[in-house]
Amino acid sequence: MIFRLVVQTFVWFGVMGAVLFLSAGTLHWTGAWVYIVVMVGLSLTMGVALARRDPGLMNERLGPPIQKDQTAADKVLLSILLFAIFTWLALMGLDVRYGWSAVPLWVQVVGVVVLLISIWICYLTMLENSFAAPVVKIQEGRGQKVITTGPYSYVRHPMYSGAILFFAGTALLLGSWWGLASVLFFLALLAIRTFIEEQALRTGLRGYDEYAARVRSKLIPMVW
């Protein structure tokens, strides 16, 4: 499992780095190097910790993005999301190449902070929820149940809340106002995915309706 984690981490961020630097037309992009190094380091560190604490969840998270038990709607949406992510990275690379944005250094530092907060939220979510798979499906074989504690006591989809901050922090760190504006598109995709996931949870997971009645917020506490 650790070997798979290492390989997938370097392949995933290697491809992301290639898209960023090729679209930027240069390797002299400090923000991108900081982003890749921070993400690889945190992914490996937290991945190893999670694999030791909850190997069942880690095995789920190392699975392919398209799976047999995954809902059809989620297969389509996740495919769109993955394509959008790489298009977004290329857009930010082009932003750097042509100098469309002028982002101050202190804003990029704020981006690092936002990025770290987002990863911490996602990690806390995985520590609390052993069923936080990257695809929408009911894990009957693992005895999936409703999680109501930790971040789930504030919002029903804390992983998506962290993802929104992740996109925003990434754009700020990479110094792209166009990348930051594109976060609205990702917000829309994640909002749609909450409906897909909630439909699966309400029909396939006992007790979810009662939980949803208690915790009204989906992504943003006391807002939506």
pLDDT tens digits along 32-88: 999 999 999 999 999 999 999 999 999 989 988 888 888 889 999 999 999 999 999
Q: Bigger pLDDT: 112 or 224?
A: 112
Tokens for 61, please give them.
């998270």
| Confidence grade of residue 125 (pLDDT, cut at 50, 70, 90) | very high
Distance in angstroms (rounded) separating the CA atoms of residues 39 and 180: 18
Q: Based on the number of CB atoms within 10 Å of its own CB, is 103 exposed (0-12), middle (13-18) or buried (19 or more)?
A: buried
Distance CA 117, CA 204 (A): 32
The two tokens of residue 150 are: 């930790």
Cα separation, 170 vs 112, in Å, equals 8
Rounded to whole angstroms, the Cα distance separating 11 from 163 reads 20
> Which pair of tokens denotes residue 2?
């650790």
Q: Please report the pLDDT score of residue 67 as a whole number.
A: 86
**Spatial CB neighbours of 88, under 8 Å, sequence gap ≥ 6:** 167, 179, 182, 186
CATH of domain 2-214: 1.20.120.1630
Percent of the chain topping pLDDT 70: 100
Contact 169, 115 (CB under 8 A): yes
